[in-house]
């Protein structure tokens, strides 16, 4: 009997099958992850197969997969591209298949087949882009992150352990009561969502289920788009082994099946191809282990890592608290981070007397209880806790649990701790599990800061996940490997998934593991400096904090890149907790808080229960957020929701007016004064044709004009309701191309209107009125073409769309023909009537704009000389949509911040002579406001943008350039609905502004 072997060497695993001459599959090798050791694991798999099937009986050995081609060339063996190999394999097992959903380690694909006389042909296919979110490798990362200790000393990743982790992960998800909302377009957003859900107390089973449902929704929106898949539909690849993922896809395709050998069908396909083409070859697996196999292409190299300027004390231990028989006063700081939770206990002199660092594991309340239990057991009889402070992303929920005296943002906490260690520092680098921070210090106070916006490349969790893939213990072994390298590889600064691919590719070219790990240290440092610090000032005394600062390799990379010594103090991994403890001690000693009776034993043993309930507090809100109602030993505590209503437990005593809400009230009045309906879930109808206007994109700026124009032409006008989570998800799932979040939300609004109105008003708005006639005033191309995008995605019949093309810069009189020709013939009034309606609508739009500016002048005239004002700039569809801005106005009003949106400012007189080619209309408006912020001493800028905004990628640099040394904050939001990250940045910026104002008043 002769045999044919097929080997699929993918980004994550090696799969292998053996066929006989009759095309029967006689052997399937167990699924094996290669952890980047591609050559070694492939050789091992082949050796095991040859032990059962002697080489003299093997006719052919062929390869496929994204790592297979290099191996086939090395062994002079046949290779088949993985798309063809997969389809060949699937059609062999499921002969009549029409649609194939394929998800592997880093690739996702869709194949649609037709048949001609029994022979299949590929009628359509689609694959994921360069982002690997929602693939098997990503699910592996999430399972590991939720399961393992971040810096555990006894960690050793292997096949069995990872497989057990995944099995437990899936089993836990199977017990969920509902899938929590998790955005899965990008690995970082997914992790952010999951972390903030955990820190709000969402159960792990529900988060795990939400992850899989989000992955399916992401696949549907980015890969399937608006295609209708013919049955039978099959699901193949490594992810098809995951029953939660199978169940999530069955929501869309109830009859979906998972065929036999689903993980090895690529291997089956390449073996079939060789068998049917009567190919013959043999291989020598020794070639995979030879030095020739490790020959490297020209790879850029960096200097070896070493510490020459930095004093790095490997001893980070704390001496035990002596038992003197006396009970001493102590203050406790607890830092509940995304991946780790830590505490620092200090005495009355501000010295750390006890500390602890443990993984959060997605259970902030349970972990906090365990920490308190540990604290009680270790030093409970020796200390009297006078006050408690919490910080970190879980600061509010844990602060409520422990009845904290102070809840403080982590930037302020880290700065407070760092300057207590060294009052002369001027720069802090802090890299945590999920966030990276840069803090500039002046006179012991933070005066500027920056956090990573949406990319977690270079953070602690990124480092840990890549180390796991390469079977390296992050604690101890990682730094030894990095420092042993003599020729570190120059890796590009990349996203988590791309970096993983780069490491695999370089390993395949023969780069040594030591050189890759050292290169990773350099890449993390460069990523941090370029994406977080950017062009901000780096001083002479730099302190490096956070878990990765315990890693000598990364400290050495900072020293090499900057050419400066790096301060790495003892106990730096608990510096946030230390700073929080110092801050609460300071307040307690100043008499700013009453001492609360605390019993560690009671808190540690407190019975914690919770129930889930849909929020019904606001009748006008349609988000249906699921709340966690905790019972802390008889005390009720409510957490959850997108709006942040339950997020902030300690607000400013002085509440401010929510000027975003004022803008919405004035907009609502101006729109509904025409009789248009705005805010209703279901429209009321009369005898007139009902025209739907999406409350999104240009309508957030020009909605008053649209309402008065359409009403003036005799139509009944209905605006879609404010964006809800369901509406946003409907938009995401309808997409046929990858766009920014506001465009996806626009699709959701149109989806709502399609079901409720006769016609859709979807104008093509090309430009806008400008302050200077020489400016072009262009809108973003995606906004300009939004009608074409949504019509294609939702297959809207042309007769239902009213789509005039507006050049608003030319004024109302030039829009007459566009409106006339866009209206259905039977509803078309005279051009004179249209001209009149246009003129009146234009006047009402400008009256609304002037009303806003008049209110702004009035508000600013009442601002005290020493009072600060935050000017919030951004695009109207980000600024005034409470789903997109995460109810920012409400949050800042609660914190006592006077925050004035851009529309309240009259900035038309500001010169843009230094930006003579400003192409974008909204960009010009933003920069005019920025120039005014720069000039006014008590004004501070906050710019709200969305991820993947092309125009803003330029505007942000100009914004920074104009403000120069003045602190500012840029918030980049997207479809992740986490309020906590935004609140952290706002609270930290509030402290920076206070420090800058205080320093100014002293000068």
- Give the separation between CA 683 and CA 827, rounded to whole angstroms: 21
- The pLDDT score that the predictor gives to residue 495 is 60
DSSP assignment of 330-344: EEEEEEE-SSEEEEE
Quickly name the fold that domain 450-568 has.
Nucleotidyltransferase; domain 5 (3.30.420)
Q: What is the pLDDT of residues 332-358, one digit of tens each?
A: 999 998 778 999 999 999 999 999 988
The yes-or-no verdict on residue 228 having pLDDT over 70 is yes
Q: Of 1.10.10, 3.30.70, 3.40.50, 1.10.3470, which CATH number belongs to 851-1001? A: 3.40.50
Scanning the structure block, which residue is given the tokens 């840029």? 970
- Give the separation between CA 313 and CA 416, rounded to whole angstroms: 22
DSSP assignment of 39-55: HHHHHHHHHHHHHHS-G
Structure tokens at 191: 């992790």
Q: Domain 136-251's class?
A: alpha beta
Domain 329-422+573-605 identical in fold to domain 851-1001:
no
Structure tokens at 983: 């609140």
CA nearest neighbour of 815 among 634, 823, 612, 464: 823
How far separated are the first and last CA of the chain, in Å rounded?
A: 92
- The pLDDT score that the predictor gives to residue 153 is 41
- The pLDDT score that the predictor gives to residue 505 is 67
- Give the separation between CA 713 and CA 718, rounded to whole angstroms: 14
- The pLDDT score that the predictor gives to residue 297 is 47
What is the longest distance spanned by two Cα atoms in the chain?
A: 96
Quickly name the fold that domain 3-94+260-289 has.
Nucleotidyltransferase; domain 5 (3.30.420)
Structure tokens at 443: 């006179």
- Give the separation between CA 180 and CA 173, rounded to whole angstroms: 11
- Give the separation between CA 575 and CA 413, rounded to whole angstroms: 8
- The pLDDT score that the predictor gives to residue 150 is 30
- Give the separation between CA 75 and CA 281, rounded to whole angstroms: 10
Mean pLDDT of 516-540: 87
Quickly name the fold that domain 329-422+573-605 has.
Nucleotidyltransferase; domain 5 (3.30.420)
Residue 223 — very low, low, confident or very high, per pLDDT cuts 50/70/90? confident
- Give the separation between CA 495 and CA 890, rounded to whole angstroms: 33
- The pLDDT score that the predictor gives to residue 159 is 54
Q: How many residues does the chain have?
A: 1003
Cβ atoms of 763 and 705 closer than 8 Å: no
- The pLDDT score that the predictor gives to residue 535 is 78
DSSP assignment of 824-885: -GGG---HHHHHHHHHHHHHHHHHHHHHHHHHHHHHHHTS-TT--EEEEEE-HHHHT-TTTT
Q: What is the pLDDT of residues 58-78, one digit of tens each?
A: 999 999 998 899 899 889 999
Give residue limits of the domains in the chain: 3-94+260-289, 136-251, 329-422+573-605, 450-568, 607-644, 659-850, 851-1001
- The pLDDT score that the predictor gives to residue 821 is 94
Mean pLDDT of 685-689: 89
Burial class of residue 891 (count of CB atoms within 10 Å of its CB; 0-12, 13-18, 19+):
buried
The yes-or-no verdict on residue 200 having pLDDT over 80 is no
- Give the separation between CA 926 and CA 930, rounded to whole angstroms: 6
């Amino acid at each position: 009997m002769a045999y044919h072997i097929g080997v699929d060497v993918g980004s994550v695993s090696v799969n292998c099958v053996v066929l006989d001459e009759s095309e029967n599959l006689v052997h399937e090798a167990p699924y094996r992850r290669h952890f980047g050791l591609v050559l070694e694991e492939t050789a091992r798999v082949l050796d095991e197969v040859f032990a059962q099937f002697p080489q003299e009986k093997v006719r052919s050995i062929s390869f496929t997969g994204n790592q297979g081609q290099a191996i086939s060339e090395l062994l002079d063996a046949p290779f088949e591209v993985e798309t063809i190999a997969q389809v060949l394999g699937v059609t062999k097992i499921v002969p009549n298949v029409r649609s194939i959903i394929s998800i592997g380690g880093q690739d996702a694909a869709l194949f649609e087949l037709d048949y001609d006389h029994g022979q299949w042909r590929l009628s359509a296919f689609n694959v994921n882009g360069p982002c690997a979110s929602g693939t098997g490798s990503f699910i592996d990362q999430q399972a590991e992150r939720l399961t393992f200790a971040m810096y555990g000393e006894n960690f050793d990743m292997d096949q069995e352990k990872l497989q057990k982790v995944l099995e437990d992960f899936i089993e836990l998800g199977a017990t969920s009561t509902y899938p929590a909302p998790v955005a899965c377009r990008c690995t970082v957003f997914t992790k952010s969502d999951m972390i903030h859900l955990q820190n709000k107390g969402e159960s792990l089973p529900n988060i795990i289920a939400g992850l899989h449902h989000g992955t399916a929704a992401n696949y549907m929106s980015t890969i399937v788009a608006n295609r209708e898949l013919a049955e039978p539909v099959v699901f193949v690849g490594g992810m098809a082994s995951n029953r939660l993922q199978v169940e999530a896809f069955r929501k869309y395709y109830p009859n979906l099946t998972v065929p036999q050998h689903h993980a090895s069908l690529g291997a089956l396909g390449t073996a079939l191809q060789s068998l049917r083409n009567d190919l013959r070859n043999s291989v020598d697996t020794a070639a995979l282990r030879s030095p020739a196999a490790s020959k490297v292409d020209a790879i850029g190299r960096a200097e070896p890592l070493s510490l020459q300027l930095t004093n790095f004390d490997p001893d980070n231990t704390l001496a035990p608290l002596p038992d003197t028989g006396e009970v001493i006063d102590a203050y406790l700081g607890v830092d509940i981070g995304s991946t780790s939770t830590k505490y620092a206990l200090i005495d009355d002199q501000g010295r750390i007397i006890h500390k602890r660092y443990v993984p959060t594991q997605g259970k902030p309340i349970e972990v906090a209880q365990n920490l308190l239990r540990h604290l009680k057991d270790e030093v409970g009889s020796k200390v009297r806790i006078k006050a408690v402070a919490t910080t970190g992303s879980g600061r509010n929920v844990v602060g409520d649990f422990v009845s904290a005296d102070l809840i403080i943002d982590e930037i302020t906490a880290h700065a407070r701790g760092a300057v207590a260690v060294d009052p002369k520092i001027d720069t802090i680098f802090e890299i945590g599990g999920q966030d990276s921070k840069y803090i500039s210090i002046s006179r012991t106070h933070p005066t500027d800061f920056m956090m990573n916006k949406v990319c977690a490349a270079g953070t602690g969790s990124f480092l840990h996940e890549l180390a796991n893939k390469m079977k390296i213990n992050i604690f101890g072994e990682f730094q030894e490997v990095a420092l042993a390298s003599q020729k570190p590889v120059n890796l590009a600064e990349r996203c988590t998934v791309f970096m993983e691919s780069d490491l695999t590719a370089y390993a395949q070219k023969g780069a040594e593991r030591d050189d890759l790990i050292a290169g990773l240290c350099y890449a993390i440092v460069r990523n941090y400096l370029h994406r977080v610090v950017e062009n901000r000032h780096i001083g002479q005394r730099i302190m490096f904090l956070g878990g990765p600062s315990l890693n000598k390799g990364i400290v050495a990379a900072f020293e090499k890149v900057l050419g400066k010594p790096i301060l790495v103090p003892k106990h730096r991994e608990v510096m946030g907790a230390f700073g929080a403890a110092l801050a609460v001690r300071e307040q307690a000693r100043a008499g700013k808080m009453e001492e609360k009776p605390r019993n560690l034993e009671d808190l540690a043993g407190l019975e914690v229960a919770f129930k889930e309930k849909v929020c019904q507090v606001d009748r006008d809100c349609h988000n249906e957020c699921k709340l966690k109602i905790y019972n802390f030993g008889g005390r009720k505590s409510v957490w959850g929701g997108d709006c942040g209503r339950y997020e902030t437990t300690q607000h400013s005593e002085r509440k401010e007016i929510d000027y975003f809400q004022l803008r919405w009230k004035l907009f609502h009045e101006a729109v509904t004064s025409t009789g248009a309906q705005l805010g209703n879930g279901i429209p009321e109808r009369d005898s007139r044709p009902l025209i739907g206007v999406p409350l999104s994109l240009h309508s957030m700026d020009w909605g008053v004009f649209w309402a008065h124009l359409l009403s003036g032409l005799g139509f009944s006008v209905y605006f879609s309701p404010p964006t809800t989570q369901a509406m946003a998800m409907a938009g995401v799932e309808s997409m046929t191309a990858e766009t920014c979040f506001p465009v996806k939300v626009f699709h959701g609004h149109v989806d709502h209107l399609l079901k409720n109105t006769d016609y859709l008003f979807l104008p093509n708005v090309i430009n806008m009125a400008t302050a200077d006639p020489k400016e072009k005033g262009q809108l973003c191309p995606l906004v300009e073409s939004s009608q074409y995008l949504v019509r294609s995605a939702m297959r809207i019949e042309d007769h239902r769309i009213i789509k005039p093309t507006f050049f608003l810069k030319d004024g109302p009189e030039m829009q007459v023909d566009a409106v006339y020709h866009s209206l259905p013939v039977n509803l078309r009034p005279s051009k004179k009537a249209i001209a009149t309606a246009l003129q009146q609508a234009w006047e009402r739009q400008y009256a609304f704009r002037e009303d806003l500016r008049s209110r702004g002048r009035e508000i600013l005239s009442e601002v005290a000389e020493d009072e600060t004002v935050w000017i919030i700039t951004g695009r109207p569809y980000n600024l005034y949509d409470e789903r997109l801005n995460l109810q920012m106005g409400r949050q800042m009003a609660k914190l006592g911040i006077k925050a004035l949106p851009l529309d309240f400012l009259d900035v038309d007189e500001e010169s843009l002579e230094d930006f003579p080619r400003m192409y974008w209309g909204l960009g010009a408006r933003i920069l005019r406001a920025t120039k005014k912020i720069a000039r006014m001493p008590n004004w501070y800028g906050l710019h709200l943008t969305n991820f993947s905004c092309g125009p803003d990628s330029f505007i942000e640099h100009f914004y920074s350039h104009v403000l120069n040394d003045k602190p500012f904050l840029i918030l980049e939001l997207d479809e992740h609905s986490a309020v906590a990250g935004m609140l952290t940045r706002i609270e930290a910026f509030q402290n920076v502004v206070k420090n800058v104002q205080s320093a100014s008043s002293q000068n």
